Every structure is written in structure tokens, then in C-alpha cells.
Amino acid sequence: MSRIGNKLIPMIEGVEVKINADNVEVKGKNGTDVVKYDPSRIKIEIEDNNIKVSRLNEEKHTKQLHGTTRALLNNAIVGCHEGYTKTLEIIGIGYHADMKGNDVVLTVGYSHPITISPLPGVTIKVVDTKSKDVNSVVEVSGQDKFKVGQTAALIREVRRPEPYKGKGIRYKGEHILRKEGKRAGK
């Protein structure tokens, strides 16, 4: 039994939801999103200002799709109303990020700067901080949760945080397990 799939999705004021034969269109102030579903396995209906996602049979694949469809629909509604944001911190001597058009240019210890282009519908913003610990802060935002997370992961993958000095690109609030160096015990 899917506990996530059985949860009702509350309708948010300002977001319009239209249920079609095999997809759901969501329109809000941040844009439009379309969530596809299998009408032979999943039933979506609006009742009492809530969206209810239910399954039509008890097959294993239907049970798997039940919670996934509900989560994708909820993410589309929240994304069209509020949007999603991921914040990354760049830590290290000489490490920084700059904007070049819509792309972000990362200087993180390699012999050349690395340019990352955002996925469609995603915006990147670089905020320079005056903090002694953090050189630059990169904010990735958009309406699609997957695209925001994927773009942030592409940026982080350029220079993952290392465990000895903690240098690299990390998510804001991410805890990095630190290791002792070879000479620490002597």
C-alpha cells in the first residue's frame, strides 16, 4: 500500500489544474507544466478542493506508479506556484564563479575555467559574499524540481568537496565528513 499515493494534494489558490485523458496540465504564476500518467492504471480526480490519485488495480507495476504519479503531480503544482531553489557554496582559495550570459563560469583549481549551461527553464545566479569561508554562492532556481536538481548536480560535480580541507562546491547546509591528515597523529 502506497502511503504517499493515498495522500490528497491540496489545491493552491492561483494554480489551475486541468485533467486530460492521459496527462494533467498545471498552470501557475511561474509557468506551465504537464504531468503524464497511465489512465489504464491510475485515476486522477478533483474532489472537495483536493486532488485524489488512486489506482485501478493491485498489480505490482500499478502500485509502483501510484506514489510516483502523486509525487510528480505535487511537485508540478508546487513548482508552478512557488518554484524550487538550490544553493551551492564554493569554498577554496582562488575558487569563484562568474556569470557569462546565462551560463556560469567556474574557476575551481583547474588549468582552465569550466562553463556550465543551465537546462531549459532554469536560471542561475551568482552572489559574491564577503564571508571569509565562502568565496561565491550560486543559486539555481526554476519551476521544475528535476531540472533544478540536475543543474545543481552538474555544477557540484565539477569540483566535489574533498574530505581533508573541505575545498570544493557543496550544497548549502551539506555536512562533509572531515578526515585527519597523515601527520595529525604524530
- The secondary structure element, H or E, covering residue 11 is none
Could you read off the pLDDT of 8-53 as tens digits, one per residue? 999 999 999 999 999 999 999 999 999 999 999 999 999 899 999 9
Among 184, 84, 103, 88, smallest CA distance to 134 is for 88
- Write down the pLDDT at residue 184: 62
